[in-house]
Amino acid sequence: MTDTPRTADALIDELTLEEQVSLLSGQDFWSVNPIPRLGIGTLRVTDGPNGARGGGGLIGGVSAAAFPVGIALGATWDPELAEEIGAALADEVKSKSAHVSLAPTVNIQRSVTNGRNFECYSEDPELTAQLGAAYVRGLQGKGIAATMKHYAGNESEIERTTMSSDISERAMREIYLRPFEAAVKEAGIWALMSAYNKLNGTYASENPWLLDEVLRGDWGYDGIVMSDWFGSHSTAETVKAGLDLEMPGPTRDRGEKLVAAVQAGEVSAEVVRTRALAVLRLMERVGLLEGEHPFEEVADDRPETRALIRRAGAAGTVMLKNDGLLPLSLPKGQIAVIGPNAKAARIMGGGSAQLNPHYSVSPWQGLAERLGESALTFAPGCTNHRWEPIWQGPLKAEFFEGTELSGEPVHSEEMASAEAFWVPPVANGKVNPTRFSARLTGSFTPEETGPYRFGIHATGPARMLVDGKVVADAMSDFTRGRTFFEEGSDEVVGEVNLEAGRSYEVTAEFAASEGKMLTFSALRAGIGQPLGDDAIAEAARIAGEAETALVFVGRSGEWDTEGSDLEDIRLPGRQDELVAAVCAANPRTVVVLQTGGPVEMPWLGEAAAVLQAWYPGQEAGNAIADVLFGDAEPGGRLPQTFPLRIEDNPTWTNDPTVYPGVDGHVRYQEGVFTGHRHYDAKGIAPLFPFGFGLSYASFALSGLSVTAAEDGAEARLTVENTSGRAGSTVVQLYVGAEAPPVERPARELKTFAKVALEPGERRELVLPLPARAFAYFDETAGDWHVAPGRYTVLAGTSAADLPLTATLELADARLPR
């Protein structure tokens, strides 16, 4: 430890070339090499964005607080809340002895089927930009680096590690780069993560236009760019293009290879110094130039964090329909609690965002806490899982050298369930991480006699056996599919009739294989019981006998997950049938949806009320109950348009080059006409428009005026709570050019304000509209152009409800990049 603070600029030239190079790649999966000689500590990162995961893999580890997912935070339309959540997450990162959060995710929701939409904020660049910048300020205000991702053009999970997103510069500047630009210019972000995909034919991790010309040149960025995990593909090219840090370690493309490249003249020593200085600057910002910090992960379950998560869950819940049934009063009769998501706590999506929560509250638990279980009846009605429910332990896992499951095991351990994500070192380093095999053994005792389904998928050959007989075989013909980030097989399922009360020996066997792109091994095995017509009939029966029916349907992190796009936006399984049957049995039916994006709703006309609760974090059931009974406002507004049918969404076309892509290229044909801009341009009425959401209070907007200002314009209007109940609304301002020189959307969201008012309260809002709010990116001139002419400013509460308008004449202006 030194007595006085040191700086990166003062230290950089004390490092040898080899030491500088050592800073440019990870030392292991989650950390960067220290330099003990100079008292430079180990930089540690942890996955986000809805928490700070403990442990070395995606499963298990030290528990952590689970916050609402990205789209739920997007639905709050509340940058102040996003900043508050960022600050709370900084404390979570510190509890895991990390210095960098791999968050937030700000890719644009280009389609309705992207498996990672749940992790992103919105279809709209301005909403995403304001929320993302606020989140970054919250994290970095407490000394934790944010890592905004994925830079850029990662809007699909199909062949995402190799696909080229072919996007015009105008669309990049106006849509896909806007959140990153705001993070750099308005929040001073310290780290970005490059995307896996190529952009216009060049990998994002070695794209000079992205990393050098735009990021550092146009925006003046002084932070680092790290690769996504295993997303670096070269030595000289990535270093020269502007990729500072290759992750994870140990290095594949740098180290001795980079030293040799410098010695051979392929990379200049000055470029290496620049990259190392960027990493040192990050270390300085998070306090690592003063020596090694002790590593200790703790489960820091704070009451104030619980309260924040509960409040944020309600703030993002969107009320899509209410025929007067909500908020509920204390029931006089029974409440029927129905659906596959009623007793399951759907708190987060899947992939690298998932974590081991301190706890999770299901809707059933939240309602039981409020009303007592005696007031509730339950029926699942149907299932909605993508994979069979996880086989629960205790299980014994034995590991073998080689892939043949032969010889004596070299390591054994206990597992709580048949779900594993193995990153090096595997089995305490006793096996080669790409050339080992494992056997999981345990038992299963069914409660009922009948057919049971056994399912398995893995990143290498795998199978399940019951009493020594193979029932699900993904081993004899292993084929990669849509699981485990496209490294794993699709689930293989077999069905067996079992007797109630009898214990069966169950075995899962696995052999590791070389990854296509990523280096890890994973397995998931499950056992489930099919549900049929009788289950839907039982749900309808209890609904008919109840005062009110609450139906909890949707998806889960099995569907909304990194590594796999959705195939459609219908509710999985027989959930639509279930909702229709319950609505027919009881007109007082509330449907609570939990999904990571839009769904079709063929039963919408029959339901009395519909809430979209997303994946709101560990307090899910409590937050939902708060909204149902009116303790909290349904504060959310849609951050993504809900189309009537999948065919209406912006990427639906008969041309597969537009989506999902052909021959390694996906063409962003719609250009700047994303999200609500698309529905306006095509004249398509959505099921629910962007920005839509109902309140328990009512509001009126009036008096919109717009005047020119030194940098753009200033809008004024009045919002009034016209009800007898306190509540909140989101005032949204859109701008449209009347006679633009290029094709532009009819209207674009440019600013917004979430406003909470007491009964009868009026408030005047003053909303700035900078010059960029009126500009388009001129690809020919290479700058932002405010074309001379008349502009219309529209104010309202959704993209389809803009009752107030005002016009403004602006002179010709050119704005820098």
Q: List C-alpha distances in Å: 266 to 520, 561, 672.
A: 31, 40, 39
Q: To which residue do tokens 């009605």 refer? A: 381
At 207-233, the pLDDT tens digits run 999 999 999 999 999 999 999 999 999
Element (H, E) at 135: helix 125-140
Residue 2 pLDDT > 60, yes or no?
Answer: no
Structure token pair of residue 347: 């708190």
Alpha helices in 354-411 (DSSP H): 363-371
Mean pLDDT over residues 116-133, rounded? 98
CA proximity to 440, closest of 524, 502, 351: 524
Task: Please give the single-letter amino acid code of residue 216.
Answer: R
Full 3-state SS string of 280-339? HHHHHHCCCCCCCCCCCCCCCCCHHHHHHHHHHHHHCCEEEEECCCCCCCCCCCCEEEEC
Q: List C-alpha distances in Å: 213 to 170, 210, 332, 359.
A: 15, 6, 66, 45
Task: Please give the single-letter amino acid code of residue 34.
Answer: P
Q: Give the model's pLDDT for residue 55.
A: 73
- State how far the Cα of 637 lies from the Cα of 583, in Å rounded to an integer: 25
Cis peptide before 195 (omega within 30 of 0): no
Neighbours of 645 (CB within 10 A): 15
- State how far the Cα of 651 lies from the Cα of 92, in Å rounded to an integer: 37
Q: List C-alpha distances in Å: 532 to 380, 538, 578.
A: 11, 10, 11
Task: Please give the single-letter amino acid code of residue 506.
Answer: V
699-815, CATH topology level: Immunoglobulin-like (2.60.40)
The beta-strand segments (E) located in 462-565 are 462-466, 469-474, 492-498, 504-511, 521-528, 548-554
Q: Give the model's pLDDT for residue 150.
A: 98
Please provide the CATH number assigned to the domain covering 310-385+532-662. Answer: 3.40.50.1700
Residue 105 pLDDT > 70, yes or no?
Answer: yes
Structure token pair of residue 372: 């007592």
Q: Give the model's pLDDT for residue 535.
A: 97
Cis peptide before 49 (omega within 30 of 0): yes
Q: Which residues of 160-188 are buried (b: 16+ CB within 10 A; e: fewer)?
A: bbebbbbbbeebbbbbbbbbbbbbbeebb
Identify the three-state secondary structure at position 646. helix
Please state which of the ranges 43-57, 320-334, 483-497, 576-590 shows the lowest mean pLDDT: 43-57
How confident is the prediction for the chain on average, in pLDDT? 96
Identify the three-state secondary structure at position 677. helix
CA proximity to 678, closest of 640, 733, 705: 640
Percent of the chain beyond pLDDT 70? 99
At 245-265, the pLDDT tens digits run 999 999 999 999 999 999 999
| Alpha carbon 474 to chain centroid, angstroms | 29
Identify the three-state secondary structure at position 215. helix
* Contact status, residue 40 vs residue 49, Cβ threshold 8 Å: no
- State how far the Cα of 366 lies from the Cα of 628, in Å rounded to an integer: 11
Neighbours of 557 (CB within 10 A): 20
The confidence band for 291, taking pLDDT boundaries of 50, 70 and 90, is confident
**Helices and strands of the chain, counted as H and E runs:** 17, 36
CA proximity to 388, closest of 449, 456, 447: 456
Residues contacting 453, CB < 8 A, separation 6+: 388, 493, 494, 495, 527, 528, 529, 530
663: exposed, middle or buried (Cβ count in 10 Å: 0-12, 13-18, 19+): exposed
Residue 476 pLDDT > 90, yes or no?
Answer: yes
Identify the three-state secondary structure at position 492. strand
Neighbours of 541 (CB within 10 A): 15
CA proximity to 168, closest of 208, 127, 200, 193: 200
Element (H, E) at 76: helix 70-76
The confidence band for 60, taking pLDDT boundaries of 50, 70 and 90, is confident
The confidence band for 3, taking pLDDT boundaries of 50, 70 and 90, is low
Q: To which residue do tokens 């892509």 refer? A: 661
* Contact status, residue 318 vs residue 178, Cβ threshold 8 Å: no
- State how far the Cα of 275 lies from the Cα of 398, in Å rounded to an integer: 43
CA proximity to 125, closest of 58, 163, 176, 169: 176
Which residues are identified as catalytic?
228
At 394-443, the pLDDT tens digits run 999 999 999 999 999 999 999 999 999 998 899 999 999 999 999 999 99
Please provide the CATH number assigned to the domain covering 392-528. Answer: 2.60.120.260
Strand pairing report for 392-401 and 436-444? antiparallel
CA proximity to 774, closest of 714, 700, 732, 728: 714
Mean pLDDT over residues 377-389, rounded? 97
Domain spans in the chain, listed from the N-terminal domain onward: 8-285, 310-385+532-662, 392-528, 699-815
Statement: the pTM of the whole predicted model exceeds 0.85: yes
Domain 8-285 has CATH 3.20.20.300: yes
Residues contacting 203, CB < 8 A, separation 6+: 197, 231, 233
Structure token pair of residue 715: 């809008």
At 767-804, the pLDDT tens digits run 999 999 999 999 999 999 999 999 999 999 999 999 99
Residue 1 pLDDT > 60, yes or no?
Answer: no
At 431-474, the pLDDT tens digits run 999 999 999 999 999 999 999 999 999 999 999 999 999 999 99
At 719-756, the pLDDT tens digits run 999 999 999 999 999 999 999 999 999 999 999 999 99
